[in-house]
Amino acid sequence: MSYDAFPCCVRRDFPGVDAMMSTDNGRALCGPPQAEGLVRERLLRRIDPVLSARLGVVVAPHGTGKTTLLAHWAARRQARLVWHRVDPADAQPERLMAGLARSVAALVRSPEPCSTAELASLAEADGRPLFIVLDDVHLIVGTAAETELERLLLLCPPNVHLVVAGRLVPSFNLARPEFSTVVLVAGEDLRFRADEAHALLQDVHGLRIDPLRTLDLVRATDGWAAAVHLFHLHAMRCSPVERHRAACDTAAHYAWDHLRRHVLGDLTAHEAELLGVASMLDLVTPRHCDALLGPSGAAEAVLPKLVQRSLLVVDDTEPGLRMPCVLRRYFTDELRKSMDSTRYAALRGRAVALLEYDGFLANALRLLATDGRWAEARQLLARSGAEAFVPGACAWAELLPPGLVGTDPWFALAEARRLYDDGQLARAHAVACRALALADDAECTAIATELRSRSSAWGSISEGPLPGGGAGAEPPLRAATRGSPAVVARSLCADSPEEDLLAAGVASVLAGDRRTALPPLRRCAELLDKDRPAALAAQLVLALFETEEICTAPDTTAAEIEAVQRHAWLAGLSWLARLADGMLAILSGSTAGEEIADAVARDCERRGDAWGAALLHSVALLACVSSGVPEREGYRALAAEFRALGADVLASWALSRAASPLRADAVASAAEMLDKPFVGARPTLCDTRLDSTDRKSAAGCLRGRASEGSGIPSLAVTCFGGLTVHLDGALVDLTAVRPRARTVLRLLVLNAGRPVHREQLASTLWADLDEQRAQHNLQVSISALRHVLDLQGTGDGRRAILRQDDSYVLIVGPGSWSDLAEFDRLLQEADRYHRRRAPARAVAALQSAVDLYTDDVFPEEGPAEWVLVTRDRYRLRAARAAGALARTSWSLGQEQQAVGAAARSVEINPWSDESWRLLIALLRDSGEVAEAERTRRRYCDMLASLGIDSGTGPGGGEDRDHVRPA
């Protein structure tokens, strides 16, 4: 095929096209269109695998941000890239290939090829990766041009990568071995999360808005990018009050004109009628549509086309389709306006009858409630009985007039069920009691009694929203939160019945036994069709606890939580959806996410959802989210929340995070509040995958509890600034032993948990003695240490130092803590947050690490050779950590903290050129010119003391750019 008869088309849809023939470091300057809006890092990471894969596909409906995403990705990754925006004329393969040929030739500065094979050879030219991005590829799906495009990709070498974006999936044969790995980003991935929408509106558009209203906006629009943008345009013209009202507009009227013009403009009359009927249905099926429309079989042929256009989406929990929220509200309004009132009422009546017959009671009741047909709604409730009050089935009751709730037992029951599913447990209990007083029917009485029992079972104020248990008995999950979770977990055998799976899994989590918790939780998560609340709750727990550390795979964890949120909201379980909303915002690691999470927690408190607020506060503290209060104070407040809920296990865990083993008053305070002991020798919750940021707290608060009966004492040691030892929270006085014995202990502390051979110990400390005398001295020292540790530590015969063959080992038991190990963990955590691009969390971890480093390791040992290597290593690491803290704090605009961290870096290691240069640069850039000059002179004095000519010194001349922080 020759391209000679076709013009070689360079796309001119973006600025800078005249620069196409010039390149910068091998990258075409014309590139993609100018990227605007919010850069969503999680989506860039979703596309990144295309750097090694042959094919990437971004398929989503109109207005979801496909082009923006690819433009951001291309700009960020700086790849050699050809960008081509398809138009209908490109359905001719010669035209499409001619445009690509011209672009590739301009990129590699070669003559234009005349065939697909030559184009493939040209793309291979220098072997460097080449990316071809085709936008709006749906315009050629199913045409000869698409076939030729697939042929081009098959002819191209592995260094050529194709990324296509459009509203339809290309019809490529993805079973080919060349396409073994395909990177797919779908419409669900592109939906704006609440934290992203909040950041877009506030940080990009400068629009101040209540975080809760942002959450309402995202729910009303399903995170549709075009709708969020249209809201911004609408809100720019509004007063704050009107802006608030628009965000609460569940119909999203501001997006309707865009829908008519750009999404629904080419609908046929029959398709529009079908969508109007479908808008009445929570779950759209061909049978329901045909029963309401009339002609049998018509929907079966039309619905797949509407799915292909994303006007309907496949439900992933039940067999059927769902309509996106904005479209549903729009077509509901269109259906009402297109019919006279009599015909409209008759159609709605047929829909109610059909839905009741097929068991979709919640959908039928919502139609009746929307139309204000309360007499029919009451009759339906009475006919259906308990089936109408299953979890999530009474969300429609929000439309009930207060007068009906106060006078009718069935409506009172519906409101109680709604409040219970919303986590408003005290109010649910009060309304259930009202329903019980009004009940004049045995079934109504039974339902009211169960709801009253459930809403009071979880404490003196209300029941927590976790499912489990029936009337008259305390649910096992509730028992696990009160005390002895290990006993509860063991009582629910490994082969627990389905109704106890969630309780068995969560009880094991509370007992610190993650391994035992996972099997029942996984089994429970699969029971969506039998017990949806328990299954979704299990999925939420698994999202956090299935891996060893929180946020080990943040994108995967967030996607799992987002799925729970979506399913819970559709199922009417608003308490669980709200909890997932808050957790998703917390795990985003962004400032906007923190604002959303804080607003959700406050919303829980306002509603009376005390369990939701406490659980969100727990996740926020564990994820190191700044809440404006010191972390220890936050844990103390959290302990008070859990105590008020009667959750002693969770309260004691929070106290263990707030207390310090170095403070006897904190330990005593914790002991007073813990009137129920932990059971068993397993580590507690703070020792599971959610690693404690303060293991000292765990060791101190759990004195005599976590280790009770285990035979292994809880150990807490500090090495920075001098050795101190706590056993089970008690400070050990080492002044009674000789200096050499204390040195033996320091050697064992540096190797805590690992055996140290007796010859190594003897030769290190008594090198001037013969072997027999050295071993004797070692035995005397070990005996003295054991005597002091046993006497002043546990006093019950449990040994902290054990003999293993020819070695000695300092035993590390449950709840043990070491400042060296904690320092290492914090630096690893900071590194992980840097990789995740979560600078605020990295700053928190780095600050904690720098705070731990109070002085050198064992300064009391002087220049002893055995400690020098360890001492120098930690000094250098602490100085580098302070420098990293300074740079990261500066990037967040925290100038004072950055300067202080840089000064600390110099203080820790005054011989580090990098630390001095960083401090000088930060002082100068923060406007402290005089202090910067004084610091520069001190640096020059330090260099002079080493006999080094400082020259112009840092900050002068050519050094200026070198010292500026990144």
Task: Give me the mean pLDDT over the 408-431 stretch.
Answer: 94
Sign of the Cα pseudo-torsion (164, 166, 172, 175, in order) = positive
Q: Which of 447, 472, 430 is nearest to 391 (CA)?
A: 447
Residue 535 corresponds to which tokens in the numbers above? Answer: 């299954």
Intra-chain end-to-end CA distance of the chain, in Å: 52
Q: What secondary structure letter does DSSP report for 185?
A: E
d(CA 692, CA 815): 10
Q: What secondary structure letter does DSSP report for 203?
A: I
Q: Note the pLDDT tens digit of each residue in 520-537.
A: 999 999 988 889 999 999
Type of residue numbered 519 = P
β-strand partners of 18: none
Q: Which pLDDT score, from 0 to 100, does residue 547 have?
A: 67
The structure tokens 């989406």 sit at 313
What is the side-by-side order of every strand in the sheet holding 807-810?
756-757, 807-810, 801-804
Residue 156 corresponds to which tokens in the numbers above? Answer: 């191209």
Q: Note the pLDDT tens digit of each residue in 27-56.
A: 333 467 877 888 898 898 888 888 888 889
Residue 924 corresponds to which tokens in the numbers above? Answer: 């100068």
605-639 in b/e form (b: 16+ CB < 10 A) is bebbbbbbbbbbbbbbbbbbbebeeebbebbbbbb
Residue 105 corresponds to which tokens in the numbers above? Answer: 């030739």
Task: Give me the mean pLDDT over the 836-853 stretch.
Answer: 87
Altogether, the residues listed in the chain come to a count of 966
DSSP per residue over 31-60, as a string? Answer: -SPPP-S---HHHHHHHGGGGTSSEEEEE-
Cβ-proximal residues to 55 (8 Å cutoff; 6+ apart), any chain: 153, 161, 162, 163, 164, 172, 179, 182, 183
Percent of the chain with pLDDT over 70: 83
Distance (Å) of CA 27 to CA 24, 56, 158, 165: 5, 20, 19, 21
601-604: Cβ within 8 A, 24+ apart:
603/212, 603/578, 604/423, 604/578
Contact 292, 224 (CB under 8 A): no
Contact 356, 387 (CB under 8 A): no
Cβ–Cβ contacts within 10 Å for residue 129, how many? 13
Residue 757 in this model has a pLDDT that exceeds 70: yes
pTM (2 d.p.): 0.67
d(CA 804, CA 806): 6
d(CA 871, CA 820): 11
d(CA 699, CA 729): 6
Q: Which of 583, 588, 851, 585 is nearest to 720 (CA)?
A: 851
Cβ-proximal residues to 477 (8 Å cutoff; 6+ apart), any chain: 466, 468, 469, 488, 502, 503, 506, 507
pLDDT bin (cut points 50, 70, 90) of residue 180 is low
Beta-sheet strands, E only, within 108-186: 130-135, 160-166, 182-186
Can you tell me whether residue 724 is helix, strand or coil? strand
What is the side-by-side order of every strand in the sheet holding 715-718?
730-731, 724-727, 715-718, 817-818
Distance (Å) of CA 577 to CA 134, 422, 570, 583, 820: 37, 9, 9, 10, 41
Cβ–Cβ contacts within 10 Å for residue 408, how many? 18
The structure tokens 């109680």 sit at 416
Residue 676 in this model has a pLDDT that exceeds 70: no
Percent of the chain with pLDDT over 90: 30
CA 206 to chain centre: 25
pLDDT bin (cut points 50, 70, 90) of residue 285 is very high
Kindly report which listed range (22-26, 113-117, 142-146) carries the lowest average pLDDT score.
Answer: 22-26
| Secondary structure element (H or E) that encloses residue 275, with its range | helix 269-278
Contact 160, 124 (CB under 8 A): yes
Q: Which pLDDT score, from 0 to 100, does residue 235 have?
A: 83
Kindly report which listed range (588-597, 743-752, 832-841) carries the lowest average pLDDT score.
Answer: 832-841
Kindly report which listed range (321-330, 471-480, 614-623) carries the lowest average pLDDT score.
Answer: 471-480
Task: Give me the mean pLDDT over the 4-21 stretch.
Answer: 36
The chain-wide mean pLDDT, for the chain, equals 80
Q: Which pLDDT score, from 0 to 100, does residue 670 have?
A: 34
The structure tokens 């490994």 sit at 494
Sign of the Cα pseudo-torsion (415, 420, 424, 427, in order) = positive
pLDDT bin (cut points 50, 70, 90) of residue 293 is confident
Task: Give me the mean pLDDT over the 842-855 stretch.
Answer: 91
d(CA 966, CA 962): 10
Contact 909, 876 (CB under 8 A): yes
d(CA 951, CA 889): 30
468-472: Cβ within 8 A, 24+ apart:
468/499, 468/500, 468/502, 468/503, 468/534
Phi, psi of 163, deg, nearest 5 = -120, 120
pLDDT bin (cut points 50, 70, 90) of residue 488 is confident
Residue 265 corresponds to which tokens in the numbers above? Answer: 């403009």
Phi, psi of 897, deg, nearest 5 = -65, -35
Contact 453, 470 (CB under 8 A): yes
Q: Note the pLDDT tens digit of each residue in 351-404.
A: 999 999 999 999 999 999 999 999 999 999 999 999 999 999 999 999 999 999
Q: Which pLDDT score, from 0 to 100, does residue 711 have?
A: 45
Contact 764, 773 (CB under 8 A): no
pLDDT bin (cut points 50, 70, 90) of residue 801 is confident
- List the alpha helices (DSSP H) in 608-630: 610-622
Q: Which pLDDT score, from 0 to 100, does residue 655 have?
A: 83
Cβ-count burial of 806 within 10 angstroms (0-12 exposed, 13-18 middle, 19+ buried)? exposed
pLDDT bin (cut points 50, 70, 90) of residue 601 is very high
Contact 560, 539 (CB under 8 A): yes
Can you tell me whether residue 607 is helix, strand or coil? helix
Contact 935, 923 (CB under 8 A): yes
Residue 927 in this model has a pLDDT that exceeds 60: yes
Q: Which pLDDT score, from 0 to 100, does residue 680 have?
A: 27
Residue 708 corresponds to which tokens in the numbers above? Answer: 């009770």
Contact 80, 61 (CB under 8 A): no
CA 345 to chain centre: 45
d(CA 255, CA 262): 11
Contact 623, 551 (CB under 8 A): yes
pLDDT bin (cut points 50, 70, 90) of residue 688 is very low
- List the alpha helices (DSSP H) in 321-360: 325-338, 341-357
